[in-house]
Amino acid sequence: MPGPTLRDVAKRANVSIRTVSNVVNGYAPVSDELRVRVQAALDELDYRPNLIARNLKQGRTGMIALAVPELDVPYFAELVREVITAARAHGYVVMVDQTDGDLERERELLGRDSRATMFDGLLLSPLAISADELRGRGNRVPVVLLGEHIFNGSFHHVAIDNVAAAREATEHLLALGRRRVAAIGDQPYATGETAQLRTIGYRQAHARRGLDVDDRLVVPTPRFHRRLGAEAMERLLALPDPPDAVLCYNDLLALGAMRALTRAGRRIPDDIAVVGIDDIEEGQYSTPSLTTVAPDKAEIARRAVGVLLQSINGAAPQPAEIVVPHRLVVRESTAG
Amino acid sequence: MPGPTLRDVAKRANVSIRTVSNVVNGYAPVSDELRVRVQAALDELDYRPNLIARNLKQGRTGMIALAVPELDVPYFAELVREVITAARAHGYVVMVDQTDGDLERERELLGRDSRATMFDGLLLSPLAISADELRGRGNRVPVVLLGEHIFNGSFHHVAIDNVAAAREATEHLLALGRRRVAAIGDQPYATGETAQLRTIGYRQAHARRGLDVDDRLVVPTPRFHRRLGAEAMERLLALPDPPDAVLCYNDLLALGAMRALTRAGRRIPDDIAVVGIDDIEEGQYSTPSLTTVAPDKAEIARRAVGVLLQSINGAAPQPAEIVVPHRLVVRESTAG
DNA sequence: CATGATGTCTGCATCGTTGCAGAGCCCTCA
DNA sequence: TGAGGGCTCTGCAACGATGCAGACATCATG
């Protein structure tokens, strides 16, 4: 069922293809008489422009690709939503892909046979791919990185100040008088740069008060999921001298940790206070509700889309680290 | 930075454009000698096929569109994930859009100026648009409907058996000995058909046991969000004779309801048992964990993508109601 | 040696649209 | 009257790829 083309409409209205095109696009001077006649033909045939052809001619598609590790991780779902909204404001639509944090999938996005040529630009939230490899690939389309990873100056990169975020969250716990503050989510290996930044912030907060960090309280997790947060918490509870507060490197870890605490009969925040990072909606409705560091997700999306579109339009400033604001949201899990 | 084209490669390798195309696609007989020479040229220039051009020629894009009301509603996020996975298995990618359950946005997807011509098919989870309007639009591309709404035979439609799902959940509560079972989430108006089906199931369960339904226990909500679930629960608690169990029409409502119950000092499930529908991951980690009806989301995605691709390939069977299995998952919120 | 079958390779047309240059036409003004 | 300028409208070429038909060379066969 291929729809009617400009040619069909032109034949019916007895005008040139070009004139129909002009009517469709509101271009150029077209006499009222013809305009009416052509419009009638358009309506009768229910003409819809073939965007593929238009794109081929114009060299752009009006689509950007957005690749995140996991769509059903609430933080990413909320981010995707904001990106779609931001892109929409500029007349762009978004092709969403998930990489599962899988190196191969991330490579595919940039590789020879990818569908990348269908998109005017790529927003990538990388987990596995290395900076060098990213740079090495002769990308045809502009790329903007989201959140994870630091890519010293080769790419535009949008994120919050992770060191400050973790530091402020930790300071909040210390200010409550807690003295054994644990950290869940460190990733002391190549691709865990975001986690490492948060660990730095966590240590800074201690250092500023002249406090030592008990390294047994820093529990690494390979990913940021509820189950891993619960397991990490169980390990912490098994210590001879368990923590009285915990900074989780994202809200899912925190929710998992709270689940483990409740199951173990610990009271939150009385026995142990919990802080997360991300401010996912779920944290407002958990029991207890979750204190967290809220990145300005809408702003992340706006900035990322904005700089990507600038690059697409050739008005690209130098690749820059774009830092988006965040703020601490105090709820029941530390409001004891 | 427009990349090299077949023409550029052909010139460099001193062969015809057509031969380069053959090498790229592995088509036709090409002598080893030429193959090697062309491949070298391809590599040197780092050629990537222009998919837009290819699509124009072939009349298909390898992309489908998926429109859901809200991406950050966990059920939809999980569904989107499965759809992307299912489409990927067939070599398709997915453009995701969110309608916010807004009539205009749903219309846009089908309307004249939509980007619909860029996609080979559309998976739509409609909230606002009416059956008549959907049918009236001369759609260029195949459409498959997900979840919401019943469209008597005009479209392929994939969903669980909502009546049975609600009935089984209610029977589970009644089997526990609960006798004042409330229902949160009815939508007694045109576009709330899924909710209405669930209400039917809820009533059937009562009828089968010869029990009457106290209509004050059936609380409508315009949407399926945590906050609305909490508010509905508060209203139920204010009744002179509050319920001892509640069926929520999705898990978000249930999580909101549980939040309200906890805040009000009620014990779950001792004072009141709670059941949801959707089986979102969050329900496994809530306190208490949530009993729910689990639709087979992966199967929904597979069936929907499967029938959509069949339609795209012209091998379209008659529009059909495709019913996907579900099962009751009992967790702490009713396991008292 | 003529014939035809096979195997390689090429050029032209085409997908549906838009950019560009220019063809008519009418009007104005010297 | 005729040169010049606007206004409409048209046809051709092009975007980058693939389908098709056919050209050419090679080879086996009778």
Angle between helices A51-58 and B51-58 (to 10 degrees): 150
Reading the block at residue A6, the tokens are 């400009």
Which of B141-150, B219-228, B243-252 is predicted with the least confidence, judged by mean pLDDT?
A: B141-150
Residues of A with CB below 8 A from B1's CB?
140
Shortest CA distance to B202 belongs to which of B223, B222, B178? B178
Full-model pTM? 0.91
Strand C at less than 7 A from CB of A28: no
Is the model's pLDDT at B156 over the cut of 70? yes
Q: Closest-CA residue in chain A for B142?
A: A1
Residue B280's pLDDT band, with cuts at 50, 70 and 90, is very high
Shortest CA distance to A3 belongs to which of A35, A64, A46? A46
Strand D at less than 7 A from CB of B111: no
- In sequence order, which residues have a C-beta less than 8 Å from that of residue B8 and are 6 or more positions away? B45, B47
Strand D at less than 7 A from CB of B28: no
Q: What is the pLDDT of residues B35-79, one digit of tens each?
A: 888 888 888 888 889 999 999 999 889 999 999 999 989 999 999
Continuous H helices in chain A: 6-13, 17-25, 32-45, 51-58, 74-89, 103-110, 131-136, 162-175, 193-208, 226-237, 251-263, 282-285, 297-312
**Rounded to 5 degrees, what angle do the CA atoms A298, A303, A307 make?**
150
> Does B302 or A36 have the greater pLDDT score?
B302
Reading the block at residue A145, the tokens are 């990185």
- Pairing state of beta strands B181-186 and A218-220? unpaired
**CA A93 – CA A86 distance, rounded (Å):** 9
Q: Which of B56, B98, B118 sits opposite A81 (nearest CB)?
A: B98
Q: What is the pLDDT of residues A293-303, one digit of tens each?
A: 999 999 999 99
Cβ B46 vs Cβ B3: under 8 Å: yes
Q: What is the pLDDT of residues B235-253, one digit of tens each?
A: 999 999 999 999 999 999 9
Is the model's pLDDT at A284 over the cut of 70? yes
Is the model's pLDDT at A138 over the cut of 60? no
- In sequence order, which residues have a C-beta less than 8 Å from that of residue B208 and are 6 or more positions away? B167, B171
Share of chain B above pLDDT 90, in %: 62
Domains within chain B, CATH numbers bracketed: 6-49 (1.10.260.40), 58-160+297-326 (3.40.50.2300), 162-295 (3.40.50.2300)
Reduced to 3 states (helix: H, G, I; strand: E, B; else coil), residue A231 is: helix
Kind plus residue range of the DSSP H or E element containing A4: none
Residues of B with CB below 8 A from A50's CB?
56, 117
Q: Which of B71, B118, B230 sits opposite A77 (nearest CB)?
A: B71
Q: Which of A43, A46, A48, A83 to mutate to test the interface with B (most CBs of B within 10 A)?
A: A48
Q: Closest-CA residue in chain A for B95?
A: A95
**Rounded to 5 degrees, what angle do the CA atoms A227, A231, A236 make?**
145
Q: Which residues pair with B183 in a beta bridge?
A: B218, B247
Is the model's pLDDT at B137 over the cut of 70? no
Residue A172's pLDDT band, with cuts at 50, 70 and 90, is very high
Residue B30's pLDDT band, with cuts at 50, 70 and 90, is confident
B267 touches chain A (CB under 8 A): no
Cα–Cα separations (whole angstroms), residue B53 to A53, A116, A118, B8:
8, 13, 10, 15
Share of chain A above pLDDT 70, in %: 94
Shortest CA distance to A256 belongs to which of A299, A227, A220, A232? A227
Q: Do B55 and A50 touch (CB under 8 A)?
A: no
Cβ A218 vs Cβ A225: under 8 Å: no
Q: How many helices (H) and strands (E) does chain B have?
A: 13, 12
Reading the block at residue B145, the tokens are 């409907």
Is the model's pLDDT at B308 over the cut of 90? yes
Is the model's pLDDT at B227 over the cut of 90? yes
* CA B30 to C1' D29, whole Å: 26
B335 touches chain A (CB under 8 A): no
Residue A147's pLDDT band, with cuts at 50, 70 and 90, is confident
Strand D at less than 7 A from CB of B6: yes
Residue B103's pLDDT band, with cuts at 50, 70 and 90, is confident
Cβ B150 vs Cβ B156: under 8 Å: no
Q: How far apart are the first and last CA of chain A?
A: 65
> Does A151 or B246 have the greater pLDDT score?
B246
**CA B57 – CA A16 distance, rounded (Å):** 23
Continuous H helices in chain B: 6-13, 17-25, 32-45, 51-58, 74-89, 103-110, 131-136, 162-175, 193-208, 226-237, 251-263, 282-285, 297-312
Is the model's pLDDT at B191 over the cut of 90? no
**CA A252 – CA A331 distance, rounded (Å):** 16
Strand C at less than 7 A from CB of B57: yes
Reading the block at residue B124, the tokens are 């739509």
- Pairing state of beta strands A63-68 and A93-98? parallel
Reading the block at residue B329, the tokens are 């998952």
State the burial class of residue B185 (Cβ atoms within 10 Å of its Cβ: 0-12, 13-18, 19+). buried
Q: Do A259 and B287 touch (CB under 8 A)?
A: yes
Phi first, then psi, for residue A172 (nearest 5°) are -60, -45
Residues of B with CB below 8 A from A53's CB?
56
Reading the block at residue A32, the tokens are 């009222």
Q: What is the pLDDT of residues A82-123, one digit of tens each?
A: 999 999 999 999 999 998 888 888 887 776 667 777 899 999
Q: Closest-CA residue in chain B for A265?
A: B287
B259 touches chain A (CB under 8 A): yes
- In angstroms, the separation between the Cα of residue B53 and the nearest Cα of chain A is 6
Shortest CA distance to A166 belongs to which of A211, A196, A208? A196
